[in-house]
Amino acid sequence: MDLDAVKEHSALHAKPSGLVLQYGTAGFRTKAEHLDHVMFRMGLLAVLRSKQTKSTIGVMVTASHNPEEDNGVKLVDPLGEMLAPSWEEHATRLANAEEKDMPGVLMDISVKAAVNLQQDAFVVIGRDTRPSSEKLSQSVIDGVTVLEGQFQDYGLLTTPQLHYMVYCRNTGGQYGKATIEGYYEKLSKAFMELTKQASCSGDENRSLKVDCANGIGALKLREMEHYITQGLSVQLLNDGTKGKLNHLCGADFVKSHQKPPQGMEMKSNERCCSFDGDADRIVYYYLDVDGHFHLIDGDKIATLISSFLKELLLEIGESLNIGVVQTAYANGSSTRYLEEVMKVPVYCTKTGVKHLHHKAQEFDIGVYFEANGHGTVLFSKAAETKIKQLARELEDKKRKAAKMLENVIDLINQTAGDAISDMLVIEAVLILKGLTVQQWDALYMDLPNRQLKVKVADRQVISTTDAERQVVTPPGLQEAINDLVKKYKLSRAFVRPSGTEDIVRVYAEADSQENADSLAHAVSLAVFQLAGGVGEAPQLGL
């Protein structure tokens, strides 16, 4: 490792003194002007990780659903998954090292991680459409080349497409071709094969309005349109030609404000969906005949897909185990519907995609979606092999069901939540089951809920267990929550500390909105009193 060259190039990407950043689930994110040094250093780190794993590593320049002036970066591990936790620590340490210490820290990481510095390295790079992304991805390339790593710059990609490229490259093309055309061909072929199985399609060319958050999803959906020659036509809105990225649009805006994005003219009972800025989240919605807005979030997406998969498994008589993984934020009605009506087991993990993904890997077929619309379906290697075998061996209806499962395997992006892939799976399932958007929404009624935040002096006074559903400390808080919950029907409540700031998040649900609001407020007061609240005590309705 030529540390003199590293030092020389690093000076061109100097770190602002005193700036401290933390690599989390979303990688690094902050204002774009503070990220040049981080990008250069993540280029260096990607080379070390590639050498250590003897695999291609991905670097994605994006800040997802954040405002346009922000940016960020995250590394993608060999199987298209998130960076290993021990390397998250290396990333944080390297990004925060002062200029003079950085080469030493780099050397220390390579020793601690037992990196063979003679090993070849290959890094693939993608970026979103933010004005700052092109220059920042060039800083990543500078980091890769100074350590003599090989690279391919894919330019503009959705985040899930970069995950796909990494996985394809590290499986020798078994997962698919590591090109943008390979991605479109794989998904479109599976979609058309799947929708061909519909007994009566009725509406030959279903149309769907897609809010692309003025982001990369618009460019990529437009490129993909001519690959899907039947079954679906999409109308792209907020396609980046005029509005700002994620501003008053996108999945996060629609989910948090419970209203349509700007620029979306909706007729009653029209199917609409929103991507987020880097196209790894999707939510659906519609207006009913009375003009009321209905959101169909990740819970209902998981329910639709897992119910469909369970029906296919029953049809072929195969006992592959299927599980749905949720967090404590999943609506209680979705959990009840899955367990009691569909007889699909549900498991709860701590909040955060890495926890959900890890748990979903324990099943033959693991389905997970956060309420925000980020999620996917994971098939174990054994399950994939079995399904493909059955698609060749079974006869008639059973063979058809096995073939449909095989198509789903090809259609879903198993490396990460992927708005384009998830949209195509949802559309295919709606066609095959003959469901309208209203019928899908009516599978179960969400329990009214409320989320609040309480400012505290130190968030670390709160510790939790049971996938964040029970408080361990401070003493007396869980007992107070239990007593409050008993006062309302169909109710539950939990609190958890924020991962980034001194606030405690409160969630409550109950049989009516008034009761959910009242319970959330009462729990907020208990947190304020028992966990060191600061400022004014929480007020009902604020």
Give the catalytic positions in this structure.
Answer: 64
CB 523 within 8 A of CB 508: yes
CB 193 within 8 A of CB 221: no
Is residue 64 annotated as involved in ligand binding? yes
The response to whether 49 counts as a known ligand-binding position is no
Residue 122 in contact with residue 130, Cβ under 8 Å? no
Measured distance CA(479)–CA(516) in Å, rounded: 19
Q: Which residue has the tokens 């095959």?
A: 432
In DSSP notation, 123-175 reads EEEEE-S-TTHHHHHHHHHHHHHHTT-EEEEEEE--HHHHHHHHHHHHTTTSS
- Residue that is written with structure tokens 């009506």 in the block: 341
* Residue 154 to residue 162: CA distance in whole angstroms: 8
Q: Is 370 annotated as a binding residue?
A: yes
Pairing mode of beta strands 365-369, 375-379: antiparallel
Closest CA relative to residue 424, chosen from 181, 225, 259: 225
Q: Is 415 flagged in the annotation as binding?
A: no
Q: Record the tokens describing residue 176, joined without a space.
A: 């698919």
Whether residue 450 is annotated as binding a ligand: the answer is no
Sequence letter at residue 405 = L
CA distance 207 to 213: 19
278 is in an annotated binding site: yes
Structure tokens at 205: 């060319």
Q: Is 261 known as a binding-site position?
A: no
Task: Confirm whether residue 418 is marked as ligand binding.
Answer: no
Residue 371, annotated ligand binder?
yes
399 is in an annotated binding site: no
Single-letter residue type at 355: H
Instruction: Judge whether 86 is annotated as a binding position.
Output: no
Q: Strands of 456-525 (E only): list them.
A: 463-465, 470-473, 492-497, 503-509
List the structure tokens of 466.
Answer: 């049971």
181 is in an annotated binding site: no
Could you tell me the maximum CA-CA distance found in the chain, to the nearest angstrom?
A: 69
Q: Are 44 and 123 in contact (CB under 8 A)?
A: no
Phi, psi of 246 (to 5 degrees): 65, 5
Q: Looking at 278-395, list the stretches that DSSP marks H as alpha helix, in order from N- to C-terminal side.
A: 298-316, 332-336, 353-360, 381-393
Residue 524 annotated as binding site? no
- Please tell me the distance from the alpha carbon of residue 400 to that of residue 505, in angstroms, as a whole number: 47
- Only one residue has tokens 């499962």, namely 405
Binding annotation for Mg(2+):
64, 276, 278, 280
Binding annotation for substrate:
370-372, 496-500, 505
Binding annotation:
64, 276, 278, 280, 370-372, 496-500, 505
